[in-house]
Structure 1
Amino acid sequence: MKTNIYKTYYNAYQPYMLLDFNLSFDSDISHDDICRTVLEVTERINLCKYVDFSNRNSHGYDAFMMFNLVILAKALFGYASTRDLEKLCRTDIRFMFIAKNQKPSHQSFHRFIHDDLTMNIEDIFYDINKYLESNMDIDTDVLCIDGTKYEANANKNTFIWRANTVRNRTKRWKRTLNCIHKINNYFSSVNISTRYSLLKEPSIDYLLTISERLEKYMLDQNIQMVHGKGCRKPAIQKLYEELKENALKMWEYAIHMDMLQNRNSCSKTDPDATFMHMKYDYYNHTNVFKPGYNIQFGVSDGIIRNIYVSSDGNDLK
């Protein structure tokens, strides 16, 4: 039935529209849409392997429907929060098709993911990948690998270099040993037999132990610590503050080495990112290092079978 709409029919307080917005999922969603593919695959797998039905309530949403919605969101976006899932069920025709116009809340998705899913989402996609291999004519002996480097969401000037960290840590440890030597000379000048060893390898616990003993010594000797301009600090206080500063710097270098692991660089704001050359440099094309990740894909007969994300700037491994 054809409806003609003219301006004379419109007013600001019209209670309804003359257009029919009813959706027909069978005609509006193509036969090769990804939501139909998700339904086809999940109907042939053992859902009990992924969902714990013992916690499901009789009045809750269907577990098969919730599982399909989570899988579809993962396939489309890689990550979708429970708020996003709730919004998609209200606005996206593909999610409305799977949910049959039901509108689960974000709490419903949270309960399903937290209480009912028994496998990690990556493990589920691994099993789906194996299902595709067994039900499609895929030559698994041929794997075409290609990828690129993506810049991480980290600032450019937050780099940590292994060479600089090792060099600065060595210099700082030498200064720390010199400070301990001056502490031994101080105790010798006041006729106290206390003497601390000079270790070859850095030890933060050892420095903290010396700091605690210096604090106890100043407390027992009633030596007041002074601060500010015009106040002359006691000699032991200067040595204590110098040792404490060195201990903090050694602790910082230890954290940097732990963040680096076996890499030569990383970012302070994103420790998993490694500084590497990118294909395109928007910093005036100076080809500077930027924090990024190495993304590699493995494809067989047009099907993505492997995705590898690493912090290694070299593709050979």
Structure 2
Amino acid sequence: GVRMRALMDELFETMIRKLIADHYITMENYFLDGTKIEADANKYSFVWKKSTLHFEKKLKEKVQATLAHIHMLTQQEAGEYTAEAPDELPARLEETAAILEEKVEDLTEQMAQVNDSEARKALRKERSALKQPLKQIREDFLPRLAQYEQQKACLGNRNNYSKTDPDATFMRMKEDH
């Protein structure tokens, strides 16, 4: 009892001094009353399966609308994307981007050869109409599709994971929102 308490107090004090001397702890923030402080760093670092699937579905709908728009601009065979072959969409987008790049290069060459400012303006307008979906494919659709595929691979059978520790599944407390 009493003798052990005195030894424990002395041991605790010695341990604290050792930790301070070795710079493991500082005495700047010390709470004797049992105060708990919740760390909220990376509070929103979770990835939810339903959200990933929802965002991927919305992206694929947007891709279909863009492909239809590109088809209208270039009069090429658009074809509908089917859910049975989800791996074909990135390849199809790459093909479409390559076709658009060719057409943009052709229009740029035509602009360099034309002397009439009105004709050049019409070519520039047509080129910018093709460059916008090309930029959208290269900078938005393809990276997001790759991101969603990576997230789905990381999720596996789980419903969520942490971005900072992909092997960890989140356990949320009631206080979380």
TM-score of the aligned structures, taking structure 2 as reference length: 0.59
Among candidates 242, 267, 275, match of residue 162 of structure 2 = 267
Give, in whole Å, the separation in 1 of the partners of 2:79 and 2:142. 16
1:167 to 41, 54, 77: 54
| CA distance in structure 1 between the aligned counterparts of 2:148 and 2:100, rounded to whole angstroms | 24
Give how far 1:200 is off.
1.6
The one of 176, 192, 210 equivalent to 2:96 is 210
Runs of 4+ aligned residues of structure 1 deviating over 3 Å after TM superposition are none
Extract unaligned runs of 5+ from structure 2. 1-40, 112-123
Q: CA deviation at 1:259?
A: 1.1
Post-superposition offset of 1:180? 0.2
C-alpha RMSD of the superposition: 2.5
For residues 91 and 154 of structure 2, the distance between their equivalents in structure 1, rounded to whole angstroms, comes to 20
1:238 partnered with 2:124: no
Alpha-carbon shift at residue 181 of structure 1 (Å): 0.2
Superposed displacement of residue 197, structure 1: 1.8
Alignment match of 1:258 (pick from 141, 153, 167): 153
What corresponds to 1:293 in structure 2? none
Q: How does 1:1-150 map to 2 (within 5 A)?
A: none
* CA radius of gyration, larger in: 1
195, 198, 217: which is aligned to 2:77?
195
| Residues in 2 aligned to 1:255 and 1:212: alpha-carbon distance in whole angstroms | 24
The AA in structure 2 aligned to 1:210 is: T
Structure 2: distance between partners of 1:167 and 1:238: 25
2:83 aligned with 1:184: no
Question: d(CA) in 1 for partners of 2:162 and 2:150?
Answer: 12
Q: 2:42 aligns to what?
A: 155
Aligned equivalents of 1:258, 1:206: Cα separation in 2: 21
Alignment partner of 1:234: what SS?
A: helix
Measured in 1, the distance between the counterparts of 2:142 and 2:80 equals 14
Where does the alignment leave 5 or more consecutive residues of structure 1 unmatched?
1-153, 189-193, 225-230, 290-317
Deviations 1:36-88 (A, max 9, x none): xxxxxxxxxxxxxxxxxxxxxxxxxxxxxxxxxxxxxxxxxxxxxxxxxxxxx
How far apart in 1 are the matches of 2:61 and 2:98? 21
TM-score (norm. length: structure 1): 0.34
Q: What residue identity is the alignment partner of 1:259?
A: C
Structure having the larger proportion of residues in helix: 2
Determine the C-alpha separation between the residues in 1 that align with 2:162 and 2:90.
24
Pairwise CA distance, 1:249: 1.4
Partner SS, residue 66 of structure 2 = helix
